[in-house]
Structure 1
Amino acid sequence: MGEINQKMIKRITFEVLKRLSEINDNESIPIGVSNRHIHLSQEDLEILFGPDYNLTKLKDLKQPGQFAAEERVTVIGPKGKFEDVRILGPTRAKTQLEISLTDGFKLGIRPPVRESGKIEDTPGITIKGPKGSIQKYKGVIAALRHIHMPRKYAEKYGFEDNSMVDVVAEGIRKVAFYNVLIRVSEKYALEMHIDMDEANAAGLSNGDRVKIIRD
């Protein structure tokens, strides 16, 4: 009888641990580390590369419809510049440069931490391409860390669009990320975006996984 009980306990323990592992896997979120990059309007793209120019896709990104382009530009600030800054497509309504706070020191500007698209009262930058250059008087941000979340996933786990959550990254440099914006859409693939500063501080790379902290 004792031997049977021991086997039953081991079996139950195994099943419980397996279920917990499955829950952790299902609720964990992959990381996407964003290096400095730029989104261009069609108007600005044509100033930099020539009339009627279209971006050339290099590779698809994880978010459906988004891609890294072969084209690159130079961005110039009051104190420094970055060459070969990758353009991400497709073109957008407004040009936006996304950099880290450390990048801002080199350029000589202070990018505010903003949600993508909210560029009012942000610093400007000079952008140089092979056919021309343009001075933008706003549009430089340090992107607010955020999670792209499919609608079905959000409904399943009880998350709402534009809500803020806290996220923990395990490992030797375990950290918690606070004030992480959730963006919900049926067009999204599940992924949390952080910049290079945040990734280096936490020892995270593309594909590493984090978890939302539940109360």
Structure 2
Amino acid sequence: MTPEQTRDRWSRAQEIVAVFVLSVTAVLTAWCGFEASKWGGEMSIAFSQASSARIQAASADGEARSARAFDLTIYSAYVQAVGDGNTELADYVEARFTPEFAVAFDAWVADGQVENGPFVREEYVPQGKVEAEELNARADAKFAEALENNQRGDNYSLLTVLFALVLFLTAMSQREVAVWATRVLLGLAVVVAIIGIVIMSTFPIRI
């Protein structure tokens, strides 16, 4: 085989490799764009869910504040009746304690009324408080999830840039320059493509 034939074979092989790299990289670039878009959508959904949970938590917290204000009003009337020595009125008011406050009041009385009042007892959980805490926790979780999804979308976008570099190097390797330069450029493109594929394999997929 003459040196010219050898060069022709290397040239054809290089062209085949270049076409293969270009084709694969084009598909991978499109895939990264698709995944970046999907994770961007997931981020928007998570942010919306976090906002909705936060609004619901605020509503539940308002309900808890209203319940506490009502219990405080009833308790004030009870204290006033006890202070006036009006046992009948005190019993009447006590019978109208809310279930949540009655539990804390009974525990407070059973422990000898050591604390300043039943409101500081851990048994006192006004209606809406637990729901508000759960919704706030859900909002925090969804917000963190949205940030994570945003980062995943950014990662795929960065990979798109990396694969664009592969396309550039491969295209440059096809220009009429020194043989060693074309081989170096194509080899570098293949290495960068392999690195990109390895990195992409570690990323989560959303269909």
Q: Provide the TM-score with structure 1 as the length reference.
A: 0.25
More helix by share: 2
Q: Which has the higher contact order (CA 8 A, sep 6+)?
A: 2
Q: Provide the TM-score with structure 2 as the length reference.
A: 0.26
More strand by share: 1
